[in-house]
Amino acid sequence: MDGDAIDDEKDKDLPFTKDSDGDGIDDSIDRDFVKTVAVEVTLIEPNISYVSPILSNLVLNNQKTTTDLTFSYQSLQQKYGVNLLNSAVTGVDKTNQTITLALGSSLGYDRLVMAPGIDFIYASGHDPDLVPHAWKAGAQTNLLKAQLDAIPNGGHFVMTIPGAPYRCPPGPYERACVVADYQVWH
């Protein structure tokens, strides 16, 4: 499911399409490509908006809310002419250069960039509504914030770090520092 490399010199004048599917950050990075090459880009994204996990610690220390960290994909459409399609990719046919969408339709492409995002495989018996991971920003961040607010003076916070590899190696340590700072001031 890998896309072809772009040769700027060879491809700069071609009116080809480039489809992008994923979690927001990887897709948005392609905006520089869109600005420099005559290309039609379609972003296929199941979510209407994107909540930044990178800034989610700012919710825990009361500097931001998850609303502040929620971004619409509309700016990509307005600023760069990116086509937005609210769906998910369920299949890729590299031979015919088509993708199948959860909507039931298919879409052809000349170049394909796939950024499938992240998800979790929960341990048996784990209830994320009781013990939030909060690595995927949004509702989990708000739940963790509410649980931090409910810790009594002298209470304890327990955090585990997943086994490697995981997406953001400094993330757990940054989160631990933010929680420690929170506990000092609350």
Q: What is the pLDDT of residue 37?
A: 65
Dump pLDDT digits (tens) for 4-48.
Answer: 443 444 444 433 344 444 444 544 545 555 566 678 889 999 999
CA-CA distances (angstroms) from residue 168 to 2, 27, 136, 175? 22, 18, 12, 11
Q: What is the pLDDT of residue 186?
A: 78
Please report, for the chain, the start and end positions of each structural domain, with discontinuous segments joined by +: 8-114, 139-185
Dump pLDDT digits (tens) for 39-73.
Answer: 888 999 999 998 998 889 999 999 999 999 999 98
CATH superfamily of 8-114: FAD/NAD(P)-binding domain (3.50.50.60)
Task: Determine what percent of the chain is predicted with pLDDT higher than 70.
Answer: 80
The model's confidence at residue 102, banded by pLDDT at 50, 70 and 90, is very high
CA distance 133 to 131: 7
